[in-house]
């Protein structure tokens, strides 16, 4: 039938949904953010924030089997949450306690650093019920400043370069000597530094137990050993002695042991000295002087350049100076006439008779009184061995000013008597000045 049409097939009824199994109530992990006992607050805050903000829909904490963090494994959250739950799964003490009311410090447990800190002796002095910081001042400790300084002195390195040290020989080898100078290790003295000159038998020269004085030439190495020298110390003492002799203007006796084109050589206090040909009394045949002993004075002494120059002629002057004194009457020959006075040869040394002290009268020309070659008697009024100067005076020999201009022979003949009166006069004037 057209009106009724064909019967429509019945639609199947949708299946009734199966009864859902009752869902277990989710246990929410509650993390307290209350203040912990002096743990790192920044770390606790960061870790707590990570856990609080994490969405963990399927996580269950089973008291009998521990915690289930399978839902956490698939979560894209940070590793901080994973580490926290891994630690929770390893905690067996939560079976009985549960997790209610636990703090972050309880959940995470003590870190290795905290464990070390708590077990260290330092923690014991700070562990207190009220977590008070116990402080101690320097005055609370036993501190002895004198003992501290003494300890520093005992541990001070021994043997600085240029330092003189004393010690005892502990061993003598073919290449040198070992000396105990009080350091960590003995000082070593090479054979070439054992002394001045040649040492044929080093063991006889330095027997064990011999006390020696040495100079440190090189500071200690990695083994604490310093290099020392008897030779360097002897040379230093020699230069000091020679320098002092030169300052005093002394004359020393030396033996000539060699020569070269410029002069001769000698040995003085272990030092090599040189005498130029011009400073020898007989410099024309200086080779023949080898082996002779002569007196010399010092021209130049320089330890820095190791230069020692001597003079035989200057020694003669020094000897002559030693024979002279202020107020002494001397006789010499006029060697030269200069505009300012006469140079008088006194036998190896020259004295200056200045024009101002020739006479008390008016002197128009020096040649009015003396000419070159004349014998002159005069008083010494100045003596300077260091500079080789001798000051002479003839005006003191006059009975009245200008007497030398008219009665020169009389003045010179009575010079000895007049010199005594002049000395007495000079002495009285010195006493008045004092």
Domain finish residue from 183, 198, 231 = 231
Clarify whether residues 332 and 428 are in a common domain.
yes
Q: 9 vs 6, 12, 64, 110, CA distance in Å?
A: 9, 9, 56, 73
Residue numbers of the domain that contains 406: 325-433
86-96 per-position pLDDT tens digit: 655 555 555 54
Q: Is 313 in the same domain as 348?
A: no
Cα separation, 59 vs 51, in Å, equals: 12
pLDDT per position as a tens digit, 24-48: 555 544 444 444 444 445 455 544 5
For residue 86, tell me if it sits in a domain.
yes
Q: What is the mean pLDDT of residues 172-193?
A: 87
Instruction: Please check whether residues 293 and 387 belong to one and the same domain.
Output: no
300 and 360 both lie in a single domain: no
CB burial of residue 238 (10 Å; 0-12, 13-18, 19+): middle
Report the CATH number that the domain containing residue 402 is assigned in CATH.
Answer: 2.40.50.140
Q: Is 83 among the domain residues? A: yes
Same domain, 344 and 306: no
- Alpha-helical regions (H) of 142-292: 145-154, 202-205, 230-248
> Which residue, 265, 286, 317, sits at the end of a domain?
317
Of the candidates 296, 305, 304, 229, the one whose C-alpha atom is nearest the C-alpha of residue 269 is 296
With respect to residue 17, please indicate whether it lies within any of the assigned structural domains. Answer: no
Query: What digits encode the pLDDT tens for the residues 203-233?
Result: 888 999 999 999 888 887 777 788 999 999 9
User: What is the distance between the alpha carbons of residues 81 and 75, in angstroms, rounded to a whole number?
Assistant: 10
Question: Is 390 in contact with 347 (CB distance < 8 Å)?
Answer: no
Residues 382 and 413 grouped into a single domain: yes
pLDDT at 123: 46
- Nearest-angstrom CA–CA distance, 224 and 221: 5
pLDDT of residue 59: 42
Q: Are residues 259 and 351 in the same domain?
A: no
Q: Is residue 224 included in any domain, yes or no?
A: yes
307 and 341 fall within a common domain: no
99 is a domain residue: yes
How much of the chain exceeds pLDDT 90, in percent?
28
* Helices 79-90 & 41-53 angle (0-180, nearest 10): 100
64 pLDDT above the threshold of 60: no
Residue 132: inside a domain, yes or no?
no
Looking at the structure, tell me whether residues 189 and 95 fall in a common domain: no
Co-location of 304 and 282 in the same domain:
yes
pLDDT-wise least confident of 114-118, 144-148, 183-187, 421-425: 114-118
Distance (Å, rounded) from C-alpha 353 to C-alpha 356? 8
Residue 342: closest CA among 397, 383, 390: 390
Predicted structure pTM score: 0.49
170 and 108 together in one domain: no
Token duo for residue 281: 């009394």
Domain count, the chain: 4
- Asked if the structure places residue 303 within a domain, the reply is yes
Could you tell me if residue 9 is inside a domain? no
CB 301 within 8 Å of CB 311: no
Domain closes at, from 273, 296, 317: 317
- Of 128 and 167, the one with more pLDDT: 167
Are 270 and 219 in the same domain?
Answer: no
């Amino acid at each position: 039938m057209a009106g009724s049409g064909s019967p429509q097939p019945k639609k199947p009824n949708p299946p009734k949904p199966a009864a859902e199994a009752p869902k277990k109530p989710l246990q929410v992990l509650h993390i307290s953010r209350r203040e912990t006992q002096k743990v790192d607050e920044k770390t606790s805050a960061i870790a707590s924030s990570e856990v609080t903000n994490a969405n963990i829909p399927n996580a269950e904490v089973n008291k009998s089997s521990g915690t289930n963090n399978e839902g956490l494994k698939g979560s894209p959250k940070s590793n901080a949450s994973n580490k926290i739950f891994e630690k929770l799964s390893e905690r067996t003490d939560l079976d009985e306690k549960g997790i209610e009311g636990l703090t972050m410090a309880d959940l995470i447990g003590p870190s290795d650093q905290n464990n070390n800190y708590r077990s260290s002796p330092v923690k014991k002095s700070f562990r207190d019920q009220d977590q008070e910081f116990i402080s101690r001042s320097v005055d609370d400790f036993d501190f002895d400043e004198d003992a501290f300084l003494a300890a520093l002195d005992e541990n001070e390195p021994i043997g600085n370069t240029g330092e003189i040290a004393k010690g005892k020989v502990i061993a003598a080898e073919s290449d040198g000597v070992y000396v105990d100078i009080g350091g960590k290790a003995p000082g070593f003295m090479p054979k070439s530094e054992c002394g001045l000159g040649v040492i044929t038998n080093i063991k006889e020269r330095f027997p064990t137990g011999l006390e020696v004085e040495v100079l440190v030439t090189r500071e200690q190495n990695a083994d604490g050993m310093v290099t020392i020298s008897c030779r360097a110390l002897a040379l230093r003492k020699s230069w000091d002695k020679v320098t002092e002799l030169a300052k005093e203007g002394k004359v020393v006796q030396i033996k000539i042991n060699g020569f070269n084109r410029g002069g001769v050589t000698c040995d003085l206090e272990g030092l090599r000295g040189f005498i130029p040909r011009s400073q020898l009394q007989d410099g024309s045949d200086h080779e023949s002087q080898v082996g002779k002993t002569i007196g010399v004075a010092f021209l130049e002494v320089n330890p820095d350049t190791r230069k020692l120059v001597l003079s035989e002629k200057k020694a003669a002057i020094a000897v002559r100076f030693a024979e002279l004194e202020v107020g002494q009457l001397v006789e010499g020959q006029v060697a030269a006439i200069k505009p300012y006075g006469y140079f008088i040869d006194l036998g190896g040394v020259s004295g200056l008779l200045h024009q101002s002290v020739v006479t008390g009268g008016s002197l128009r020309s020096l040649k009015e009184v003396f000419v070159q070659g004349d014998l002159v008697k005069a008083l010494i009024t100045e003596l300077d061995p260091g500079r080789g100067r001798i000051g002479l005076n003839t005006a003191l020999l006059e009975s009245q000013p200008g007497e030398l201009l008219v009665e020169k022979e009389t003045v010179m003949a009575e010079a000895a008597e007049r010199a005594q009166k002049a000395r007495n006069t000079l002495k009285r004037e010195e006493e008045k000045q004092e």
